[in-house]
Amino acid sequence: ETGVTQTPRHLVMGMTNKKSLKCEQHLGHNAMYWYKQSAKKPLELMFVYNFKEQTENNSVPSRFSPECPNSSHLFLHLHTLQPEDSALYLCASSHYGESGANVLTFGAGSRLTVL
């Protein structure tokens, strides 16, 4: 496989469930990201990992818990979510650098519905 792969593509869960989203990149990139995409709203950056170290957490509620076991894999653990958390969750990767174009390669997303 090539690119960025996200599983599952669709997830329906109750507010008391615990589930995880998985992301895998086959591009040799050193940075991975979680974004939330809601209809008609800008992409919201949730978490950033550079070389497996979390470098950004944009005031995300603790019911979202990221995990980056290595530079190719990224997880988003979900528990006690709220209906307003229903959205498309996008994973992305890039060659992190502080200059020049930091082009993101996105996965197709995990569509989450919280009942």
User: At residue 105, what is the residue type?
Assistant: T
Whole-angstrom Cα distance, residue 30 to residue 7? 20
Q: Which residues of 59-77 are buried (b: 16+ CB within 10 A; e: fewer)?
A: ebeeebebebeebbebbbe
Q: Is 13 in the site for other proteins (CB under 8 A)?
A: no
Q: Is 40 in the site for other proteins (CB under 8 A)?
A: yes
Q: Is 106 in the site for other proteins (CB under 8 A)?
A: yes
For other proteins, which stretch binds (CB under 8 A), given 14-22, 41-49, 66-74, 79-87?
41-49
Neighbour tally for 112: CB within 10 Å? 21
Least CB distance to other proteins at residue 62 (A): 22
For other proteins, which stretch binds (CB under 8 A), given 21-29, 61-69, 71-79, 93-101?
93-101
Least CB distance to other proteins at residue 16 (A): 28
